[in-house]
Structure 1
Amino acid sequence: MRLVVATRNAGKVRELDRLLAAVPGIDVVGLAELGIAETAEEDALEVFDTFEENALAKARWFARLTGDAALADDSGICVDALDGAPGVRSRRFAPVDEARGDRQDEANNRHLLERLAGVPDAARTARYVCAAAVVWPDGRELVRMGACEGVVLHAARGAGGFGYDPLFYLPDEGMTFGELPAARKDELSHRGIAIRAVASALAGG
């Protein structure tokens, strides 16, 4: 089965490649490999209020576009002191929508730290949440969820990962997602949990 990974985020592509590598009988391909150019319609898919709805919207779009099964995820950080924000708005949390990639990540991280200025350590609890969806061209759909608890630091630590990873600290590990080795992050992360559940379902587990 060919499975199209429906994301433009290079960090997510790397993680999904690692997490899906062990699933037998699946040929994972990315949008770049298929030569699928980004469109304004694609960029407007994530308009819903839940991670599940956004993931399904992306997976449905690319399943129709490619004629293959498509895997999409929607994920974000939910900060208790901000009443769960940024949540589904995590990718474009900063008021200025800068270019994607590192500049966008840096802007989002700055904005999160600004919003949490003065909030003490004990109140900086947060969780990463991921919804992973697979949609087949025949209309079948699969959604699995994952979550990981942590704390938002006052300053970034580590150069690994992407997004809010350098700020997301796991007390039991003594490291941020930006510091953890990739293999350990895959074991613990919201995306790792969700994608392993998808992989198990695809493998018939």
Structure 2
Amino acid sequence: MTRLVVATRNAGKVREIHEMLAGVGGYEVVGLADLAIPESPAEDDIEAYETFEENALAKARYFAAKTGELALADDSGLCVDALGGAPGVRSRRFAPVDEARGERQDAANNRYLLALLADVPDERRTARYVCAAAAAWPDGRELVRTGTCGGAILREPRGTGGFGYDPLFYLETEGQTFGELPPDRKNALSHRGKAVRALLQALGEG
């Protein structure tokens, strides 16, 4: 059985990826906490690239080298059309620092996004989530796959599930936000679900 390290400190991502991999045979899925890998300040500088693919690969390479194991990492974000594709790769730290201080980053990001879109009409609030999922081996082999999911940004959050921008990200086909959808349904539709499934298929073919 191959050990697969889920290379993220984001508890929401760890939970979702574990759920996606639950039925996949041949892999022992572990997280960084399971391996007691302490967080390093160097990790803040890994995702310094301008594309989701480059950031995901950089993170996977870093943790593959650090653990000596096959590592799976992802980089994902929200791309809002009315904002020229922002926040994009800077989704995690979108809000200005002074707005986020002392508050949960997700709440600050959502509030900042809503402020920027305050005067944007509903028909122009289209957006998409993008995810790049990457696998890297200690010997230098690597794979990356991407997934997207289109939706729109509401004017106020709905639902308490998911994380990040999920309570604002509305899917017209479902009549719900990612924050309202059951986890299994979200995983079936989401950018991360699509990217991780494509990556697992590629791993199986390799």
Spell out the pairing of 1:15-164 with structure 2 (5 A cutoff). 15-96=16-97, 98=100, 103-164=104-165
Deviations 1:48-73 (A, max 9, x none): 00000000010000000000010000
Deviations 1:105-145 (A, max 9, x none): 00000000011011000000000000000000111100000
Secondary structure of 2:205's counterpart equals coil
Secondary structure of 1:145's counterpart equals strand
Which one-letter code corresponds to 2:193 in the other structure?
A: G
Take 1:19 and 1:204, find their aligned partners in 2: how far apart are those partners? 18
What is the deviation of 1:198?
Answer: 1.1
What is the deviation of 1:200?
Answer: 1.3
**Is contact 1:75-1:128 (8 Å) kept?**
yes
Which one-letter code corresponds to 1:151 in the other structure?
A: A
Which one-letter code corresponds to 2:9 in the other structure?
A: R
Secondary structure of 2:104's counterpart equals helix
Secondary structure of 1:132's counterpart equals strand
RMSD: 1.4
Which one-letter code corresponds to 1:82 in the other structure?
A: L
1:180 aligns with 2:161: no
What is the deviation of 1:204?
Answer: 2.4
Deviations 1:66-106 (A, max 9, x none): 00010000000000000000000000000017479x80100
Secondary structure of 1:151's counterpart equals strand
What is the deviation of 1:203?
Answer: 2.2
Take 1:53 and 1:46, find their aligned partners in 2: how far apart are those partners? 8
Secondary structure of 2:179's counterpart equals coil
Q: TM-score, normalised by structure 1?
A: 0.97
Take 1:140 and 1:84, find their aligned partners in 2: how far apart are those partners? 31
Secondary structure of 1:111's counterpart equals helix
Segments ≥4 residues shifted beyond 6 Å: none
Which one-letter code corresponds to 2:136 in the other structure?
A: V
Deviations 1:144-164 (A, max 9, x none): 000000000000000000000
Task: Quote the sequence identity (%).
Answer: 69
